[in-house]
Amino acid sequence: MSQLRGDYKSVWNSLAGTKRDAYLHVSGHTDEEKFHDDGEDTAEILRETVGIRRDDVVLEIGCGVGRVGRVLAPFVKEWVGCDVSSNMLRLAGRRLLGIPNTRLQEISGYDLRPFADRTFDVVYTTVVFMHLEEWDRYTYVLEAFRVLKPGGRFYCDNVDLASPAGWRVFEESRRQFKPMERPAQISKCSTLPEIETYLKRAGFADVQVAGRLDFWVYGWGTKPVAG
């Protein structure tokens, strides 16, 4: 193992050295049309869970090249994407060129320090938790709570270990890599109780968790108005 999983900045800058590599590590393919369709799918999931409104100021944690932001921005007041990787953000900047209500921010990989308390209506993170240590997943849930306005909504997802396809991900990685040869960004699954615990412990109300397509676990909740 040449890089530490928790050294997110160095790991993800090296995975996004070229546009092709960045696309592959974001979604497993490089086709722009499919990339756009995938973004539409994620936007639809956000509509079904936290809801998307015209006057929402939205933050995506780990926005990559703006796969979702490009689709979502026309439907909200402002979309802000943050990511640990400056290489991802450079590519995101190109993809979002000409979409005026978007903004990008580099972050440390461990917190949302550039953002003030009570700034956003919606915070979401998708296809990111699988690459993080559990503690760092929870820290982002806590940070999302901090930067959300009272009444603001949070969404996160991961591969569901208990689903058939999630178990395949787990087993394939176990068999494919020797312990010292595991890639730093290797996907690690979650379970519904794990995600539910993070949201409840962080203080979210109306917490819901769901499995989907025999692969994903989704969790979402609301910051209490008195929080």
Give residues in contact with ligand SAM (CB under 6 A): 8, 12, 25-26, 61-64, 67-68, 83-85, 88, 107, 109, 126-128, 131-132, 136
In whole angstroms, the minimum distance from the beta carbon of 13 to ligand SAM comes to: 8
Cβ-based nearer residue to ligand SAM, 104 or 192: 104
In whole angstroms, the minimum distance from the beta carbon of 205 to ligand SAM comes to: 25
Residue number closest to ligand SAM, CB atom? 64
Cβ-based nearer residue to ligand SAM, 173 or 205: 173
Cβ-based nearer residue to ligand SAM, 133 or 205: 133
Dihedrals phi, psi of 17, to nearest 5 degrees: -70, -30
In whole angstroms, the minimum distance from the beta carbon of 127 to ligand SAM comes to: 4
Query: For residues 16 and 89, what is the distance between their CA atoms, to the nearest angstrom?
Result: 10
In whole angstroms, the minimum distance from the beta carbon of 204 to ligand SAM comes to: 20
How far CA 209 is from CA of 51, 94, 128, in Å, comes to 15, 34, 17
The contacts of residue 97 (CB under 8 Å, 6+ apart) are none
Cβ-based nearer residue to ligand SAM, 46 or 84: 84
Q: Which two tokens stand for residue 184?
A: 């730093």
Cβ-based nearer residue to ligand SAM, 6 or 150: 6
In whole angstroms, the minimum distance from the beta carbon of 226 to ligand SAM comes to: 29
